[in-house]
Amino acid sequence: MESKTRKMTSLAVAGAFAASVAAVGATPAVAADDMVKCYGIAKKGENDCKAGPGTSCSGTSTVDYQGNAWKLVKKGTCTQVSTPAGKGSLSCLTSRPAGKTYDCG
């Protein structure tokens, strides 16, 4: 009888441990309407989509912090993002990084 009790206790502890690990790993997803396009923060080739005319979509930015390339970020955080080229912007930046000009059309 003692063996059966130990087995049940072990199973209960293992189940509780597995449930707690699963809960820690579960991160709530951010809804699409809680995201905004943030220009000028993407590293070269790491933009989420469109980096100006002549480019297709994600991964097409040609320089770090390209002004017409954007990444999706949580609403309210874009202008708080700091890069070596400056802060993030909610609108396209025609001249970032310095010395480069981009078409925002």
Q: pLDDT by residue (tens digit) across 47-78?
A: 997 555 655 678 888 899 999 999 999 999 99
Within a domain: residue 94? no
- Give the pLDDT band of residue 39 (cuts 50, 70, 90): very high
Within a domain: residue 36? yes
Give every CB contact of residue 60 below 8 A, 6+ residues apart in sequence.
45, 47, 50, 51, 69
The pTM score is: 0.66
Look-up of token digits 């025609």: 94
Question: DSSP for 27-80?
Answer: -PPPPGGGEEEEET-PPTT--SB--STT--STT---STT-TT-EEEEETT-GGG
Domain count of the chain? 1
Which residue segment(s) compose the domain that 80 sits in?
32-87
Within a domain: residue 66? yes
